[in-house]
Amino acid sequence: AFEPASLFDHYWDFDHVEDGQALDAVASDVTLSLSSPDALGPGVMGTAPTLQGAGSTIDSEGLRFDPSGDFSLSVWVQLSLVHSFDTVVSQAGENVSAFYLQKRSDDRWSFATFSQDDTGASPCVTSGSLQPKVGEWYHLAATREAATGEQRLYVDGMLLGRASCAAAPFAAKGELSVGRGTWDGQGADAINGSVDELGIASRVLSADEIVNLYRQGRPNASYYLFAYFVEVGQGRGDGLRLAYSHDGLYWGAIGESKVFMPPMVGGGSFRDPHVMRAPDGNYHLVFTTSCVPWAESNCVQDRGFGHAWSTDLVHWNDQVYIPVDLQIEHAWAPETIYDEATSQFMVYWSSPLNGQPHSIYYLLTKDFVDFGTPAVLYTQSGRNFIDATIRRQGDQYLMVLKDEADGQKNLRALASSALFGNGAWSDAPSAPLTGNYGAEGPSLLERDGQLFVYFDKYDEGAYGALRADESSALTDPKSWTDISGSVFFPGVRHGTPIEVPWDIFRAVALAAAE
């Protein structure tokens, strides 16, 4: 069995508290003193101390830790209130702390170090893109390598940020403090919340050790990844990026927005990635390879799309450009769905044909090598639709797509008893699901009996979301609740959410840390 304490010089699980002292599972002569030893509640594993701001303290007894060398921290934290700064662990100097593992005023988990014991000094800050949510447990891990000056921040097993800091943290001689920091010689930035399973080591923990620590605290978690792109020069995307979430609402960019796969085919762009898991366990990725005509001068758009496949979302085969044998102007936002009835993949996308408005087209393939004849999947005379996404719901299929009509730019839904062929997708679309703002790039995810539609609020540079019960009438706008204020997608453009098993989550975590 995995023993977290074996990785550390000092480890407090907070399940063993005697006379107000939390016992160290590694060094028996080192304890943490709890100012409120009776304020214990449920933790990630066993019990955890509850902190109520400045009046609650947890400080080391007999530990003087030197942060100027190699070191690592690991802790679970749950905030019940969010302040401007919330410090989870720190090492006190006379004026400031040598390091702060905290939420800073930009509402990001961060790891900050000071090379001087001076409030006027500039910290070296490593931040992740994940915004903490009240009431959620998060696993935080921070590492610093003395030889290179590199410091890293991991959240829930994933590397979210790294920085190179030339100057080492000063050799603080004060206490290791849990739930607060030191500023201008006083206790500061105290948290309201709980902490659990605190470890500190005088070495750099590996990415494998850190993701296993997260797994130890959440053995039955659901793991969600989001494939997306970032718009770079002239409207192009520079490759596949991934974000993660354990609740499907708050997302963090993995590996400092690491590009897991750059574009290599077609027009050399990468937009609108769609990832699906095939019955054999392999993952298929399709994406737009075209340039954007209104963003790039002399843009010659692709009449096809890109494809790649992977066993783990990390190692990809050679990309292939798949041309469409139609006189279309371009092929935008391809997606893939597997048809169990015919054991085929259906790839579908939006295109204008012969100067007509956009319709949804499709191709069938069993192996992504040989393809059938392209055909129209959904069209309405005089209507302009793009960005379709499809999901099987019981004995029907649900499609959500963007209405491109002037003055609309919203999402609509329709249902079909057949995925393709005669009689499929013959209904008119629903009334708008989204409001009076630009919405595109819808994607669907089921979680705990609820269906989420994520979408790109491109005019606002943000992401939005709708939620409905799976059992409701999903083509009825009244079934959907706008929860855009409850999601957090920093810097994300049109992409795909997907639930993955632990081994895939772990593979991505290890690759992000390379």
Please tell me the predicted confidence (pLDDT) of residue 1. 65
Give CA–CA dist 445/452, Å, rounded. Answer: 5
CA distance 467 to 447: 10
Q: Do the Cβ atoms of 27 and 8 come closer than 8 Å?
A: no
| pLDDT value of position 331 | 96
Q: How far, in Å, CA of 488 to CA of 387, rounded?
A: 22
Dihedral of the alpha carbons of 387, 225, 243, 453, in degrees to the nearest 10: 40
pTM: 0.94
Question: Smallest Cα–Cα separation from 365: which of 340, 347, 350?
Answer: 347
What residues does 350 pair with on adjacent strands?
A: 332, 360
**Cα Rg for the chain, rounded, in angstroms?**
25
C-alpha triplet 76, 80, 83: angle, nearest 5°: 100
Helix (H) or strand (E) holding 98: strand 97-103
- Alpha-carbon distance 221 to 225, whole Å? 13
For residue 386, what are its two tokens?
């793009």
Query: Could you list the mean pLDDT of each consecutive 10-residue stretch along the chain, which spans 514 residues?
Result: 90 94 90 91 96 90 83 98 96 96 96 97 94 95 97 97 94 92 96 97 97 95 95 89 92 93 95 97 97 89 97 97 95 97 97 92 97 96 95 96 90 98 95 94 96 93 94 97 90 92 98 96
Residue 207: strand, helix, or coil: helix
